[in-house]
Structure 1
Amino acid sequence: MTAFPRVLFDEAHSESWTIRRDVAETMNPGHPDDSGYVRAAGLLRGLGHSVDAHVEGPLTPGLLSARDVLVIAHPSADRWERTTGLGSPVFPVEELDAIEEYVRDGGGLVVLAEYEQEKYGSNLTELLARFGVGVEHTLVRDPGSAHNGVASWVLGTPRNASHDSRSGQDLLAGARRACFYRAGTLTVSDHATVLFATSPTATPANRPLAVAVRHGEGRVVVVADSDLFGDDSIGDYDHAALWGNLVTWAARVPAVKSSAVKSSAAEGSAVGSAEAAEDAEDAGARAEFQALKDAVEAIRPLQAKDGSIQEESDRERAAELVSKIVGHVERLAPRFPHDAAYLAAVVADFGKWVDQGLGVPDFLDALDAFHPDTQRVDGLEHLVVFPMYTQNGTTFRHIEAVWIRTIWPEWLAELERTRYDNPMFVPIAFEDFTSGYDTNSAVLFPETVAVRETPARFTWGGIFADREAARFRVVSGAAAATLKLALPPDAARLIASQELAQDTFVLWDLIHDRTHSHGDLPFDPFMIKQRMPYWLYSLEELRCDLTAFGEAVKLEREGVPHARYVQLAILFDRLFRFPITGNRVRNYDGLGGQLLFSYLHRNDVVRWTDNRLSVDWDRLAEGVADLRGEVEKLYRDGIDRSKLAHWLAAHQLVATYVAPNPASVWAGGAEALPVEGFPKAVVDAVLPDEFPLSMFYEALRRKLGDVVDSTKGIRA
């Protein structure tokens, strides 16, 4: 199973459509667009799907099992249509059985039928009957609801109940306008979801034109017209979005990858022996790391907050444990030859710590030797051992041991090289960790390490995209269910796939992280060292996310597959997880999410009606861009303001959409603030919860608080 669907377009049964331009030109030299699904295939590829044509041989279980969606587009005898000329439009019973079994086991099927279906000499109706769908032998006419006044070019009526209730997905998200050119109608069973139907004025009236059906573990989509996704029509109305929705919804749901050690696939063979040796080596390394963890956990209770061993009675035991830790690091070091200098420095720093009496540890030499930023290779692993605190985890500088893996796929490396230069950014994933990371921490930052002096500059920062993705999936899935939000199919796939979500967060983090140093900045973007009201932090983090969203919109237009998912991840994580995570004392990330929700809600992009959340997907990008414009104007104007004036303007911007605490001094404006003692006095006037949660978020926190808490220490 891959993150993106693998689509097989059948052309071996005398189909009337092809995804190959040269074949379309051969089929229909005068008008190849009337025989091509070339643009439809290209659109799917732009969404990340792989698309291939099946041009020879039967559809067998083995062939189908390697694909997530099968598309069958109007098989026909040559008497009626220009076809691929390959095979027969009649599927043998063995192929019908194989297709049905494939769908029942989780595969997806998209079938494009036609008007007067019976005349084309195929047995498509026999195939569809297995899924409870029929195609009526008719031609719909609707002069009152037609494209360009052509009665047989029927404008479909979207059904309000176009949601797949079982998966909670909205198959018509951003796609509620469609024209069916010379369509038949469908018959369906009660469990089918009707997406489009004929209008009450059509002949025949109120009949299904497009339906979605579940069969076993799989999904089937049937459309009563094949022209609407052809090259000459897919640009009409919302056809492109509809095509993407339908294929993505039908695709096999991503399977959860097992983290178990690989088993030998060919016992006794050379390959099998090599895999067995690799497995044994891996198992040995993991056992050694577990022993390292045990020693680290044993020394932690002996350490003070600053990492020192303060009780003299504990020092002998601590020295013994340090010796064990060093031994485990030395035995693991050969697995990480690229970190040889660093791990040698770790051993040396442990030795100096013991020799100097186990006071406050100093691992500056080891920190100076560790440079994952110069080794951004996809899959490269590092053993990281430092006395350190973990952000959003523990404030104690205890010894931690973390086994990490670099995430650096070529598509991301290319974007970083050519567009979003960020040499310090190191996306990583956990292999294993000690208890300081059995927390909410999702970063590995050098500034957290215990050192004798702060280095002149830090050169790297690690972000655990696997943890970000895993907790996003848990919270967003629960929030969507709780709020009855009907998800677009791509959003549902994002929540279902750890691999897709992880890659999505890597791209989001890349753009977000570099944005701190780009734009019209009235202050040092790394303002964690500065004393200022916390809503300034909120706006800076939100600015970076709004920028990442805007860049993702551009990248989506350019065909970068993950870009659409970045937009969804930013929206859901900001709206669902950020506001209800952590306590309410200067919760700057939470406030950023509150502001985004309130702005979108105020502008009717997000709606909370009848205890159901909905999103106007067509206006989402515009709404986010408008808020970004307001924040960027605040920043530009801030360059010409005094510090206090900028802080007040920022408070006013937030307060325009998020109601401040009724007891707020800042809400009273400059006149209410202390005159003397700037900046301390005015910062002290900030309430711990200057912008409390709305009633919406208070209710959401009660419902999802346990879900958020469950993501502490989450593993992918």
Structure 2
Amino acid sequence: MTEILSSPIVSHPAWAVLKQAVEAIRPWQGKDGSIDLTDEAAPSRSDVEAVLARVTGAVEDLAPLLPHDADYHQALVKDLRKWADGGFGVPDFLDSLLAFQPAVDRRDGLQHLVLFPMYTQNGNPDRNLEAVALSVVWPDWLAELERTRYDNPLFVPITFQDFTPGYDTNSAVLFPETVAVREAPERFTWGGIFCDREAARFRRVTEAAVDTLGLALPEDAAALLADQELTQQTFVLWDMIHDRTHSHGDLPFDPFMIKQRQPFWMYGLEELRCDLTTFKEAVRLESEGHGMGRNVQYAILFDRLFRFPLTGDRVRNYDGLGGQLLFAYLHKHDAVRWTDNKLHIDWQRAPQVTNQLCAEIETLYRDGIDRPKLVHWFAAYGLVASYLSPHPGSVWAKGPDALDLTQPPRKLVDDVMPDEFPLSMFYEALAKKLRDVIASTKGITAGTETRAAA
């Protein structure tokens, strides 16, 4: 499906050996990454060991190309052999995970060979062995902004060179949290986001949406959609500011909401808050003459309005909810109009209204510092419900009197409907038009043809 970009890793014969061996191991693994050698359908231990030996041999052959990752690759080979010595039980790659530190050296074009038993977010839910060849994106202008303005020492923007099937999916991140380990590290020290996949799917879906909706684009917006490299760099800046925003501002709770059970609109508002804060910063950058500021605004608007609401299923789709809320807010404040079966955006008014929504969410957060959790959840529900219609059967929409408030808040989450805020008629119609285009972005990279078939 993808056209793989040239790289020293991918062009080396050992890469093909590594991919083939990893893909041979995949069907033998269970959900937790282990291989049950007692199963009648399982291969013999010696057969699995032979294939794994090809994996370790390929890593050792490729390692000299990447001297900056020497400690990681040595630890990786040890973890692979430890897995084999233990009879291929639940894998534990904590030692190699701790040895891999891509955020320490963010050089533009620096390449890495990554191999872990892991699930892929929005991709494969099982902890299969996955191999990825990737390249860091760190242009001088971005490094300067990170150093002087948007400090984010853990952020690593990356592009695909090649990958095993777990990444021939919708996954666009490489996170240490997904790796099989015996215990979670005290803290994670990096997070990777594939800007080439983000940019390519953005361009494909936005182009289709613009054609379907008859939206007239400014020249600079059209130029952004036509340029994969420019779009990648736009997403890198968006991601860098978004990521750091999770830890900045008036926060009434753990911003990443790790291991918390909350209604999904809380997650939706947090992600939207980070995007709208990025949008606000992009407006500021544009006013200061920074060329990428306007591009980031276009990217956030188009991705949030066109792709987010229609991607994935409707079960607790918090990113979809954020996109629906942004559209409804812009529409009700006359920054977006749907007239004569064409979408019209007031390009002067849209930034003002978008920043206005950001201010409303920031006020919600600031007030939430003084609220009990359940009161805060209801206040957040009220903000969303003032622009999006809840499902007619919703218990939460009826207010606190409809819920059993003797239960702890986490139990009341069970009363939230899977699709608490259904799509509007506008989005239901648009979904039918864009469904195939969105589906076609599975596994997309910069090397994929980015114009959807008519």
> What TM-score range do you get, normalising by the shorter chain?
over 0.9
CA distances 1:218-237 after superposition (whole Å, capped 9, x unpaired):
xxxxxxxxxxxxxxxxxxxx
Q: Is the 8 A contact 1:580 1:697 kept in 2?
A: yes
Is 1:589 the counterpart of 2:315 in the alignment? no
Higher strand share: 1
1:308 to 26, 30, 34: 34
2:129 to 367, 388, 399: 399
Opposite residue 292 of structure 1, the aligned amino acid is L
Match of 2:307 in 1: 577
Q: What pairs with 1:4-23 in structure 2 (closer than 5 Å)?
A: none
- The residue matched to 1:647 in structure 2 has which SS? helix
Q: CA separation in 2, counterparts of 1:709 and 1:489? A: 28
Match of 2:452 in 1: none
Match of 1:492 in 2: 222
Listed as ranges, the gaps of 5+ residues in structure 2 are: 447-454
- The residue matched to 2:69 in structure 1 has which SS? helix
Matched residues, number: 440
Higher helix share: 2
Match of 2:358 in 1: 628
Q: What pairs with 1:124-135 in structure 2 (closer than 5 Å)?
A: none
Is 1:534 the counterpart of 2:264 in the alignment? yes
Q: Is the 8 A contact 1:309 1:318 kept in 2?
A: no
- The residue matched to 1:411 in structure 2 has which SS? helix
Q: CA separation in 2, counterparts of 1:529 and 1:714? A: 30
Q: Is the 8 A contact 1:387 1:397 kept in 2?
A: yes
Q: What pairs with 1:47-446 in structure 2 (closer than 5 Å)?
A: 284-285=11-12, 287-312=13-38, 313-314=42-43, 315-446=45-176
Opposite residue 398 of structure 2, the aligned amino acid is G
**Cα drift, residue 291 of structure 1:** 1.8
Q: Is the 8 A contact 1:339 1:382 kept in 2?
A: yes
Q: Is the 8 A contact 2:170 2:443 kept in 1?
A: yes
Is 1:690 the counterpart of 2:420 in the alignment? yes
Q: Is the 8 A contact 2:157 2:193 kept in 1?
A: yes
1:483 to 186, 193, 213: 213
Opposite residue 89 of structure 2, the aligned amino acid is G
- The residue matched to 1:529 in structure 2 has which SS? coil
**Cα drift, residue 420 of structure 1:** 0.4
Match of 2:245 in 1: 515
**Cα drift, residue 426 of structure 1:** 0.4
Opposite residue 680 of structure 1, the aligned amino acid is R
Q: CA separation in 1, counterparts of 2:327 and 2:111? A: 39
How has the CA–CA distance of structure 1 residues 306 and 569 changed in structure 2, closer, same or farther, with 3 Å as cutoff? same
Opposite residue 37 of structure 2, the aligned amino acid is E
CA distances 1:556-589 after superposition (whole Å, capped 9, x unpaired):
1111111110000000000000000000000000
Pick the structure with greater CA Rg: 1
- The residue matched to 2:312 in structure 1 has which SS? coil
2:294 to 554, 558, 564: 564
Q: Is the 8 A contact 2:10 2:161 kept in 1?
A: no
Identity of aligned pairs, percent? 65
Pick 1 or 2: higher relative contact order, CA cutoff 8 A, min separation 6: 2
**Cα drift, residue 360 of structure 1:** 0.3
**Cα drift, residue 283 of structure 1:** 6.7
Listed as ranges, the gaps of 5+ residues in structure 1 are: 1-257, 262-278
TM-score, normalisation: structure 2: 0.95
- The residue matched to 1:595 in structure 2 has which SS? helix
Opposite residue 522 of structure 1, the aligned amino acid is P
- The residue matched to 1:395 in structure 2 has which SS? coil
- The residue matched to 1:304 in structure 2 has which SS? coil
How has the CA–CA distance of structure 1 residues 670 and 434 changed in structure 2, closer, same or farther, with 3 Å as cutoff? same
TM-score, normalisation: structure 1: 0.61
Q: CA separation in 2, counterparts of 1:459 and 1:310? A: 33
Q: CA separation in 2, counterparts of 1:415 and 1:283? A: 32
CA distances 1:208-261 after superposition (whole Å, capped 9, x unpaired):
xxxxxxxxxxxxxxxxxxxxxxxxxxxxxxxxxxxxxxxxxxxxxxxxxx9775
Q: Is the 8 A contact 1:442 1:467 kept in 2?
A: yes
Q: CA separation in 1, counterparts of 2:10 and 2:354? A: 48
How has the CA–CA distance of structure 1 residues 298 and 669 changed in structure 2, closer, same or farther, with 3 Å as cutoff? same
Opposite residue 356 of structure 1, the aligned amino acid is G
- The residue matched to 2:126 in structure 1 has which SS? strand
**Cα drift, residue 674 of structure 1:** 1.3
Q: CA separation in 2, counterparts of 1:515 and 1:343? A: 33
Is 1:656 the counterpart of 2:386 in the alignment? yes
CA distances 1:20-39 after superposition (whole Å, capped 9, x unpaired):
xxxxxxxxxxxxxxxxxxxx
Opposite residue 290 of structure 1, the aligned amino acid is A
- The residue matched to 2:87 in structure 1 has which SS? coil
**Cα drift, residue 669 of structure 1:** 1.1
Q: Is the 8 A contact 1:674 1:681 kept in 2?
A: no
Higher mean alpha-carbon deviation, 406-415 vs 672-681, is at 672-681
- The residue matched to 1:385 in structure 2 has which SS? strand
Q: Is the 8 A contact 1:383 1:402 kept in 2?
A: yes
**Cα drift, residue 528 of structure 1:** 3.5
Q: Is the 8 A contact 2:328 2:387 kept in 1?
A: yes
Structure 1 outlier segments of 4+, above 3 Å: 258-261, 281-284
CA distances 1:98-138 after superposition (whole Å, capped 9, x unpaired):
xxxxxxxxxxxxxxxxxxxxxxxxxxxxxxxxxxxxxxxxx
Opposite residue 301 of structure 1, the aligned amino acid is P
Opposite residue 570 of structure 1, the aligned amino acid is I
Opposite residue 593 of structure 1, the aligned amino acid is G
**Cα drift, residue 282 of structure 1:** 6.4
Match of 1:457 in 2: 187
Q: Is the 8 A contact 1:305 1:396 kept in 2?
A: yes
**Cα drift, residue 609 of structure 1:** 0.5
**Cα drift, residue 680 of structure 1:** 3.2
Q: CA separation in 2, counterparts of 1:443 and 1:306? A: 20
Opposite residue 305 of structure 1, the aligned amino acid is K
Q: Is the 8 A contact 2:130 2:164 kept in 1?
A: yes
Q: Is the 8 A contact 1:575 1:593 kept in 2?
A: yes
Q: What pairs with 1:30-45 in structure 2 (closer than 5 Å)?
A: none
How has the CA–CA distance of structure 1 residues 407 and 597 changed in structure 2, closer, same or farther, with 3 Å as cutoff? same
